[in-house]
Chains A and B, each alone.
Chain A
Amino acid sequence: METMQSMSSGKRPADKVGCLSPEELRKKVVSRAIRNIKRGHADDDSKRGMFRPEVRLDLQRSRLMTESYRETEGQPMVIRRAKALAHILTNMGIFIGDYERIVGYQTAEPNGIFHPIDQNWKSPRRLANSEEGKTLLDEEGRKELDKLCDYWKGKSISDRHQAALPPDLKKYWTYEGTFLWSQLSELGVPNYEKLFKAGLKGIVEEARQRMDELDREIPVDFKAQKDFLEAVVISLEAVIKFAKRYADLALSASAKEINPPRKTILEEIARTCEWVPENPPRTFIEAIQFFFFIHLVRYLEYSTLGIGVRVDHLFGPYYEKDLREGRINREEALGILQLLWIKLNELGLVYSPTVSSVYGGVASLQAVTIGGTDEEGRDVTNDLTYLVMEAAESLRLIEPSIALRIHDNTPDEVYSRAVDVIKTGIGYPSLFNDEALIPLYERWGVPHGEAKSYSVTGCVYIEIPGKNILRRSVGYPVLAKMLWWALHQGKDPKTGVQFGARTPDPATFKSWEDLLDAYCEQVKFFFTKIEQLERINNEILAEYLPRPFYSALLDGCIEKGKDCRKWVYPSMIHHFAQVIGGVNVADSITAVQKVVFDDKLVTLPELIEIMDRNWEGREDVRQACLSAPKYGNDDDYADRIAAEVMVRGEAAVEEVKDGFGLSHRSDGSAVSATYGLSGDTPATPDGRRDGEPFSDSTLAPAPGRDKKGPTAVLKSASKISTVDTFNHLLNQKFSPKFLTGELKPAFMGYLKTWKELSVPHIQFNVVDRETLVKAKKFPEQYSDLIVRVAGFSAYFVDLSPGLQDHIIARTEQRLV
């Protein structure tokens, strides 16, 4: 209480406001977005670097982790992981930016990114030695990286995984166009509410008590549990000390600081970091700093993507208490959020060049959630809901993206503010429909109340915060290629190699349903391969990459004495696959029904033969396929087939179960794979030519095929049952005029109807086609132009010319 008094008596808050303007803050951001240099197998724009030239690969995490690993050989793995984290946190270089109030950095320099060498050392080394990545390291750095890699040869997760794969399975590990299995994508959200109540010291205490109990109980896995809990204590204590290093640094800096307002801030940083995350936060800024330390260390321990925090719901009470007690005003809270936004742009990772084809434009897919309801179903909107949108609007950065949860009782004012922010063209908030999604989570087995507390980590990745959901995206299945296999009985017509399932001869098909059966069989076949790859990978991760720090932040791990990888929250919210090309599958099956079975223009074998020649010489047949009804036009012929294709396709996915007995499932977060991985799918019966991009999201019509305007698109989307499929993504593009002035109420009516129609998601590119065309031509004048790619926003200039064209080609819902 004493500390509280001293805090509230301090001079606040006017003298701290507006350290830097939003424009000045924007300049502090070094974009770490990856630029897509590959498109599937092919080079896309490899002559330019994979990162902006100012970005550097920071080796300190790799260096310190390697040092620690060398010292802990022979110890239990979970302890080694904890000690490695502690070694990093104790020894890594730290600094405080001269404008910061919230501190913490993943690297020693403001322009750094790191790569988890313990996971995979080949990609960063290959990249750092290639033309595309040569700016990441200097000569000395490359030498050091080589040395570090020597240690990890045979020890990294990737090495162990590849070594374990039987040859038959290994051919599916290599990307050939049907799915890109990916190692590097791990999500999940800590139980921040619990952490804020207990402080890390409370969690340490809990772990210690559990260890005492174990000493009395002596369960069969006594040693394993004790090791895990000891690792928890090592990790959490290291994090507390890590924060205190910042406190010390701020204190010594304040002693030297001559500018009084800055001195006050440095003193505040020192007080804050001395208190959190060891103790429960008492104020808004303490809560934010607490969160950021945890978030940062999650990345340093090993996470790759996402945030998943419900900002308004989590931090609102702290802000309101500060407001009531006169410690803060609205303007200052906005300033703090802006500073947090800058910090969330400081995370980034290195991916392999092939993976750049799907992550083009992504830094680390940071998304925060606002709105929605609490577990009892009450709307959670508070002043922070609006402040978050204001912060985003003022900064116009690619991250964090905002996921806005909409439900039956969302206030009109929230819609209105959301439209204003969307209008700026930054691509968010993206809207999530509680009324469509919560029944889906319940089907997955999430208890009702917990389903209502869901959040979004990035794109449309769904999380239940605090539950043991260590989620991985297992990769990118190309559904359109699976259909292609179904049309070829799983055999490559060029090589004669049987790669997919041996499904029946298309010559025997009598209707679209027969084709759908064969397609579903291929889906199941390839998902089984994915599961087999994944199963081995998960076993290796559980053995060699336990996460004691992250586990301690989740419900249940400490009680069970088990790392989060060794058990799961009992629901289908688990691993998932980012499917692409599903709409093209639906349109293709519809076109086959129309052209082959209804109109009898050609037989199915003839169509396949024409398609395999990429329509050459038979443009008439291609035009007939293009003219067949298409999903996205509120045309029941096409939509009925699309609905069935999606539901049956997902059922086939769900037939495949993981090691815990949980179903695989799809997810709408296709990132830029709809473009990046479409290059390896030959022509499809929907009239698509070899290599042409797919529909840009799981609910969006294929590019240029929607002719009836935005209401028809929503009507078509509403016919795809969310509860029987998965969490989709829907991109729409509007001219800014639609969201402005007298037309704004109509746009709000459109959004309300979107909610009413139970379409699970929607997001917008609000930009004129002309602007995009100009930006492609004169990138230097449009360096700040942001576009929505899939579930994330990106700087348009970071995208390859091909991906830029794909975005330009999306149907703009125009004024008529």
Chain B
Amino acid sequence: MTGDFGGRGRQGMSGSKSVEVKRGMIFYIQRFSVHDGPGIRTTVFMKGCPLRCWWCSNPESQSFSPQLIVRDVNCAGCGACVSACPKGAVTLAAHLGRRINRALCDDCLLCVDRCLYRSLDRCGTAVTVDEVMDNIERDLPFYRNSEGGVTVSGGEPLSQADFVEQLFVRCGKEGLHRVLDTSGYASGHDLERVARQADLILYDIKHLDPLIHRKATGVDNAVILENLEKAARINGALWLRVPLIEGFNDAEEHITRIAELGLEKGAEKISFLPYHEGGLSKSRQLGVDYPFKGIRAPGDERIAELAGIVEAMGLKVSIGV
């Protein structure tokens, strides 16, 4: 399958000519990250994702380009952004406060530099491997003492496979434990070359039914399942991660099938990630729709029940981690 996996082709990150330093588009570097792999980690969040999952908790990770973040609570009404905007997208009125017309805004971000109150902010920065390493290396002793390391998450890291591969090679030279957190939606070649550089793969399984998968994420799951097979053949460890959404993928029969898949592929464990509403406020700040407001996580008892089923099959389960 040679689908459009987004990423390099679409965004042209490295430009058309050969560029000395490859840059990656990231939206955040999270220090003291303890949920994406073992120990204390630094998680690098790559920006851009070919999927559009209903439950996405990082809506700012979807677009491959820098975006404007608006935090109205911080706005002092100074009007600096109004004069900074070349498109006339920003207006300021006494009774309405500061408004941004997203239809006119092209995310040029000129207003961000003028905002003193961090009410307008940039989401998305093109960085070099060296720049990321400078951040990662700050917490070396924490990784060592907690058996932690580096996680690359997203967005979809494999959409920027060149950059992530380089970053992992550098981390490998430093002796750091590397985790790849992926949806698996990428070309098999990209998956393999990046996965080979990882010590652990966190592999998302959202739904096993192709039609439901397409409906909820916008893409087919065939390539994901094919790639899972490839990931499993590579030496590193494998954990399956299942975002748990009530009434969507939490049927016992479905969870049992995921567990069977995990056993078959030699996964060390399954992580349940119950849905949370973290994405809601962020989508508001981005000025994008978050249309699936009705969805929610199964109750704690239900989650424990599902965990019991998986454990009974001989596979470890963790919740939220």
Contact surface of A with B, Cβ cutoff 8 Å = 619-620, 623-624, 627, 634, 708-712, 715, 738, 742-743, 745-746, 748-750, 752-753, 756-757, 813, 815-816
Known A634-B138, A748-B146, A750-B40: A742·B321 in contact at CB below 8 Å: yes
Known A619-B76, A711-B139, A750-B146: A745·B33 in contact at CB below 8 Å: no
Contact at A620–B141, with CB atoms within 8 Å?
Answer: no
Cα(A742)–Cα(B40), bound, Å: 12
- Give the contacting residue for B30; candidates A746, A750, A753, A816; CB below 8 A: A816
B147 beta carbon closer than 8 Å to chain A: yes
Contact at B146–A623, with CB atoms within 8 Å?
Answer: no
Contact at A749–B31, with CB atoms within 8 Å?
Answer: no
Contact at B148–A816, with CB atoms within 8 Å?
Answer: no
Within 8 A of A (CB), among B1-55: 30-35, 38-40
Contact at B116–A749, with CB atoms within 8 Å?
Answer: no
Cα(A71)–Cα(B104), bound, Å: 93
Cα(A795)–Cα(B301), bound, Å: 34
Listed by A's residue number, 10 A-B pairs whose Cβ atoms lie within 8 Å are: A620-B116, A623-B117, A715-B138, A745-B39, A749-B148, A750-B40, A750-B142, A756-B141, A757-B141, A815-B34
Contact at A710–B318, with CB atoms within 8 Å?
Answer: no
Contact at A623–B116, with CB atoms within 8 Å?
Answer: yes
Contact surface of B with A, Cβ cutoff 8 Å = 30-35, 38-40, 76, 78, 116-118, 138-139, 141-142, 144-148, 318, 321
Contact at A749–B32, with CB atoms within 8 Å?
Answer: no
Cα(A711)–Cα(B321), bound, Å: 19
Which chain A positions have C-beta within 8 A of B32? Answer: 709-712, 750, 813
Which chain A positions have C-beta within 8 A of B148? Answer: 746, 749
Contact at B116–A746, with CB atoms within 8 Å?
Answer: no
Cα(A731)–Cα(B145), bound, Å: 21
Contact at A756–B117, with CB atoms within 8 Å?
Answer: no
Nearest chain-A residue to B115 (Cβ)?
A623
Cα(A770)–Cα(B273), bound, Å: 23
Contact at B321–A743, with CB atoms within 8 Å?
Answer: yes
Q: How far is the CB of A32 from chain B (nearest CB, A)?
A: 39
Contact at B321–A749, with CB atoms within 8 Å?
Answer: no
Cα(A59)–Cα(B202), bound, Å: 69
Which chain A positions have C-beta within 8 A of B78? Answer: 619-620
- Give the contacting residue for B142; candidates A624, A749, A813, A816; CB below 8 A: A749
Contact at A753–B145, with CB atoms within 8 Å?
Answer: yes
Which chain B positions have C-beta within 8 A of A757? Answer: 141
Which chain B positions have C-beta within 8 A of A623? Answer: 76, 116-117
Q: How far is the CB of B101 from chain A (nearest CB, A)?
A: 25
Which chain B positions have C-beta within 8 A of A753? Answer: 40, 141-142, 144-146
Contact at B31–A746, with CB atoms within 8 Å?
Answer: no
Cα(A738)–Cα(B139), bound, Å: 18
Cα(A709)–Cα(B116), bound, Å: 23
Q: How far is the CB of A58 from chain B (nearest CB, A)?
A: 50
Which chain A positions have C-beta within 8 A of B39? Answer: 745-746, 749
New contact pairs (20) apart from A711-B138, A711-B142, CB-CB < 8 Å: A619-B116, A624-B116, A708-B31, A709-B30, A711-B139, A712-B31, A715-B139, A742-B318, A745-B147, A746-B38, A746-B148, A748-B146, A750-B40, A750-B145, A750-B146, A753-B141, A753-B144, A753-B145, A813-B32, A816-B33
Cα(A746)–Cα(B148), bound, Å: 8
Contact at A738–B138, with CB atoms within 8 Å?
Answer: no
Which chain A positions have C-beta within 8 A of B117? Answer: 623
Cα(A623)–Cα(B34), bound, Å: 32
Cα(A711)–Cα(B30), bound, Å: 11
Known A620-B78, A620-B116: A746·B141 in contact at CB below 8 Å: no
Nearest chain-B residue to A712 (Cβ)?
B31
Cα(A620)–Cα(B76), bound, Å: 10
Contact at A749–B138, with CB atoms within 8 Å?
Answer: no
Nearest chain-B residue to A755 (Cβ)?
B145
Which chain B positions have C-beta within 8 A of A750? Answer: 32, 40, 142, 145-146
Contact at A709–B142, with CB atoms within 8 Å?
Answer: no
Contact at A752–B116, with CB atoms within 8 Å?
Answer: no
Cα(A738)–Cα(B146), bound, Å: 13
Cα(A224)–Cα(B187), bound, Å: 93
Contact at B116–A711, with CB atoms within 8 Å?
Answer: no
Known A709-B32, A710-B32, A746-B39: A627·B116 in contact at CB below 8 Å: yes
Cα(A623)–Cα(B117), bound, Å: 6
Q: How far is the CB of A750 from chain B (nearest CB, A)?
A: 6
Known A620-B78, A712-B138, A715-B138: A749·B145 in contact at CB below 8 Å: yes
Which chain B positions have C-beta within 8 A of A756? Answer: 141, 145
- Give the contacting residue for B34; candidates A619, A634, A708, A738; CB below 8 A: A738
Which chain A positions have C-beta within 8 A of B321? Answer: 742-743
Contact at A749–B33, with CB atoms within 8 Å?
Answer: no
